[in-house]
A and B are shown apart, each in its own frame.
Chain A
Amino acid sequence: MSTTTLAAVTRGRVRRDRRRRAVLAALTLAVAAMVVVSLMVGRTFYPAGDVLRVILGETVPGASFTVGELRLPRTVLALATGLCFGMGGVTFQTMMRNPLASPDIIGISSAASAAAAFAIIVLGLGETGVAVFAIVAALGVAVLIYLLSFTDGVAGTRLVLIGIGIAAMLNSATAYILNQAGQWDLQAATRWLNGSLNGSTWDETLPVLAALAVFGPVLLSRARSLTMLQLGDDTAAALGTRLERTRLVAIVAAVGLIAFATSATGPIAFVAFLAGPIAARLVGAGGSPLLPSALVGALLVLVADFLGQFAFDIRFPVGVVTGVLGAPYLIYLLVRTNRAGGSL
């Protein structure tokens, strides 16, 4: 091998590594900045000092309630669900080699949401019961879609179409549950159909943090195998990847993240779908997309929630804002694949 090639290879790799690290650092900073802004800014402005004192447990008149009881749980929940949706979404997209195969498009989030709405509104269960319901339903749908569209490897178009059908069914089921319970108020409806952070409490936030602490590291430990799956089953297996095991772990962990997050906030529209492609744009296609997507997901939710609360005359729930952001990209993807004459 020539030394110039070696030097060029090393240089290229170092450059791509640097870019990745720089993007990760910038995303982390942006997320941290959004967290701080969300805590300080609102109807009333509280300086950083007050916010810090509240976090440290001191009593600050006004701020203790507004920041401690309202803004802090809401912001932490926004951060946590954003990380969950971002990481869970890109796991599916990577595994299925298809940006449309994200859990919020193919019905997995809808399943979690319908089950959570049922568990809360009809059965009146608490957080743990709701999360269990959501995860069982989401796993069930994931398995169902897998079985219905499985033909020796995962079929792209079939999977997406079947998933979209199932999502539509589940969304009407959610609407029906909301209707039947006689609780058709806008609050509940937007939460379980679009996703909302209104009225977030620590009781909802803690299970999501726990899910993140368990499933996040599990997924990250499989990061390399997951990226190998992008090469197709044969190449990935020939390079030493254990396909079934990787898929099983990835599906369970990603569904866990999605289900827990959804049972707290509802399926915040398109965050899982958007985070991966945006992250790939930023870091390039070489490495694992898990961490950058998680950060992009968090940033999307934090920014969308902030905009929804304060950018307009009326307050929009976070899912409506992300929905408006995500829909054009979905249309773009559909148009592009249609033009290319390709499959979904």
Chain B
Amino acid sequence: MTTDHALTTEKLTVGYGDRVVIESLDLLVPPGRITAIVGANACGKSTLLRSMSRLLAPRTGHVMLDGRQVHRMPAKELARTLGLLPQSPIAPEGITVADLVGRGRNPHQRLLSRWSRDDDRAVAAALDATHTADLADRSVDELSGGQRQRVWIAMALAQQTELLLLDEPTTFLDVSHQVEVLDLLTDLNATRGTTIVMVLHDLNMAARYAGHLIALADGGLYAAGPPAEVLTEECVRAVFGLDSRVIVDPVSGRPLMLPIGRHHVSVARA
């Protein structure tokens, strides 16, 4: 339904101050698919998403969207194509859910344009999709962590971009809401062709929902490809320093990672 957008990084190096976080990374986000990025804490996942959405300028290298450098694109134009939900967004004190979701319409509004019917429609659709319609008039401050997370996702949906980057969209959510959010993103991908890139900590959810898995280790690419190829015992050891068993998930047929800690291990280690 939508045009497929090619998002790539070329020899991308980014960091903060004199500290390099990601070095010379070549990456390709497959258009029209769901990509999950996994990696240990502080390995640079959020930094990568921030750089891909132009919030952080590259030291060297480029982020390219459809053959153009993201960091040279006009801010609003980019924001109509590519959306980002940051890891810990901030809600203004006292704002209502509907108003917060409405802020997602910003890139579609001109300097003096009035709020349009389309804006209302986009907000309503986003509220419905995230099951937050009955919260619309509540103040965001009063919501539970999970409700708030769904409202933030609604805001990103109201932006109606064909590319959507989400930084840990399932944190704070209970297991059924996690599945619901991931199902919702899958629907979005299936019906509208939205390209989705998400950082997930739950490897099994990542393997199940993503068609393309990117494993980062220390600011570099460890592996990228279909989950069955990327999520291996070796990969888990290299990326997380953790012993594990990877079996076939009887529900989805995708890989399923079972960690091996120091306790509660009844079967002999491989």
Q: Are A232 and B89 in contact (CB under 8 A)?
A: yes
Instruction: Tell yes or no: B190 within 8 A of A by CB.
Output: no
A9 touches which of B83, B84, B103, B120 (Cβ 8 Å): B120
What is the CA–CA distance of A10 and B125 in the complex, to the nearest angstrom? 12
- Closest approach, in angstroms, between the C-beta of A285 and any C-beta of chain B? 4
Considering only residues 49-68 of chain B, those with a C-beta below 8 Å from chain A are: 50, 53-55
Q: A1-B121, A286-B96 are in contact. Are A240 and B111 (CB under 8 A)?
A: no
Of the stretches B71-79, B191-199, B238-246, the one at the interface is B71-79
Q: Are B92 and A9 in contact (CB under 8 A)?
A: no
Instruction: Tell yes or no: A54 within 8 A of B by CB.
Output: no
Instruction: Tell yes or no: B181 within 8 A of A by CB.
Output: no
Q: Are B55 and A237 in contact (CB under 8 A)?
A: yes
Q: Which residues of the other chain, B, contact A280 by a CB distance below 8 angstroms?
A: 93-94
B125 touches which of A1, A97, A230 (Cβ 8 Å): A1
- Closest approach, in angstroms, between the C-beta of A83 and any C-beta of chain B? 21
- Mask: chain A, 1-44; 1 = CB below 8 Å from B; 0 = not: 11011101110110010000000000000000000000000000
Q: Are A286 and B78 in contact (CB under 8 A)?
A: no
Considering only residues 82-109 of chain B, those with a C-beta below 8 Å from chain A are: 83-86, 89-96, 98-99, 102-104, 106-107, 109
Instruction: Tell yes or no: A228 within 8 A of B by CB.
Output: yes
Considering only residues 196-231 of chain A, those with a C-beta below 8 Å from chain B are: 221, 224, 227-228, 230-231
Please, how many residues of chain B have a CB less than 8 angstroms from a CB on the other chain?
A: 45
What is the CA–CA distance of A271 and B14 in the complex, to the nearest angstrom? 43
- Closest approach, in angstroms, between the C-beta of B159 and any C-beta of chain A? 7
Q: Which residues of the other chain, A, contact B107 by a CB distance below 8 angstroms?
A: 239-240
Instruction: Tell yes or no: A238 within 8 A of B by CB.
Output: yes
Q: Are B106 and A6 in contact (CB under 8 A)?
A: no
Q: Which residues of the other chain, A, contact B257 by a CB distance below 8 angstroms?
A: none
- Closest approach, in angstroms, between the C-beta of A155 and any C-beta of chain B? 14
B123: nearest residue on chain A (CB-CB)? A9
Q: Are B94 and A238 in contact (CB under 8 A)?
A: no
What is the CA–CA distance of A241 and B105 in the complex, to the nearest angstrom? 12
Q: Are A234 and B89 in contact (CB under 8 A)?
A: yes
- Closest approach, in angstroms, between the C-beta of A115 and any C-beta of chain B? 33
Q: Are A9 and B98 in contact (CB under 8 A)?
A: yes
Q: Are A9 and B136 in contact (CB under 8 A)?
A: yes
Q: How many residue pairs bridge A and B at CB < 8 Å?
A: 116
Instruction: Tell yes or no: B133 within 8 A of A by CB.
Output: yes
Q: Are A285 and B92 in contact (CB under 8 A)?
A: yes
- Mask: chain A, 249-274; 1 = CB below 8 Å from B; 0 = not: 00000000000000000000000000
Q: Are A5 and B127 in contact (CB under 8 A)?
A: yes
B128 touches which of A5, A230, A285 (Cβ 8 Å): A5
Instruction: Tell yes or no: B137 within 8 A of A by CB.
Output: yes
Instruction: Tell yes or no: B80 within 8 A of A by CB.
Output: yes
Q: A9-B127, A286-B96 are in contact. Are A234 and B106 (CB under 8 A)?
A: no
In this complex, the interface size class of chain A, counting residues with CB under 8 Å from chain B, is: 20 to 34
What is the CA–CA distance of A5 and B122 in the complex, to the nearest angstrom? 11
Instruction: Tell yes or no: A235 within 8 A of B by CB.
Output: yes
Most buried by B among A5, A152, A224, A239: A239
Q: A6-B121, A230-B92, A234-B50 are in contact. Are A286 and B136 (CB under 8 A)?
A: no
Q: Are B95 and A286 in contact (CB under 8 A)?
A: yes
Instruction: Tell yes or no: B222 within 8 A of A by CB.
Output: no
Q: Which residues of the other chain, A, contact B83 by a CB distance below 8 angstroms?
A: 238
Q: Are B95 and A234 in contact (CB under 8 A)?
A: no
Q: Are A230 and B90 in contact (CB under 8 A)?
A: yes
Q: Are B136 and A97 in contact (CB under 8 A)?
A: no
Q: Are A5 and B124 in contact (CB under 8 A)?
A: yes
Q: Are A234 and B124 in contact (CB under 8 A)?
A: no
- Closest approach, in angstroms, between the C-beta of A280 and any C-beta of chain B? 7
B133: nearest residue on chain A (CB-CB)? A5
- Closest approach, in angstroms, between the C-beta of B88 and any C-beta of chain A? 8
A12 touches which of B78, B86, B93, B136 (Cβ 8 Å): B136
Instruction: Tell yes or no: A242 within 8 A of B by CB.
Output: yes
Considering only residues 14-47 of chain B, those with a C-beta below 8 Å from chain A are: 16
Q: Are A239 and B136 in contact (CB under 8 A)?
A: no
Q: Are B75 and A237 in contact (CB under 8 A)?
A: yes
- Closest approach, in angstroms, between the C-beta of A4 and any C-beta of chain B? 8
What is the CA–CA distance of A78 and B162 in the complex, to the nearest angstrom? 51
B94: nearest residue on chain A (CB-CB)? A285
B124 touches which of A1, A152, A221, A228 (Cβ 8 Å): A1
Q: Which residues of the other chain, A, contact B111 by a CB distance below 8 angstroms?
A: 221, 224
What is the CA–CA distance of A287 and B114 in the complex, to the nearest angstrom? 12
Q: Which residues of the other chain, A, contact B106 by a CB distance below 8 angstroms?
A: 224, 228, 239-241
3 smallest A-B Cβ distances: which pairs? A240-B79, A286-B99, A232-B90
Q: A1-B124, A284-B96 are in contact. List 10 more A-B contacts (CB 8 A).
A: A5-B124, A9-B136, A12-B98, A13-B120, A224-B109, A237-B54, A239-B106, A285-B96, A286-B96, A286-B102
Cβ contacts A to B, 24 pairs, < 8 Å: A1-B125, A2-B124, A2-B133, A5-B125, A5-B136, A8-B136, A9-B98, A9-B136, A13-B115, A230-B95, A231-B90, A231-B91, A234-B55, A235-B90, A237-B53, A237-B75, A239-B107, A239-B159, A240-B76, A240-B106, A280-B94, A284-B96, A285-B95, A286-B96
- Hey, which bits of chain A sit against chain B, CB under 8 A? 1-2, 4-6, 8-10, 12-13, 16, 97, 152, 221, 224, 227-228, 230-235, 237-242, 280, 284-287
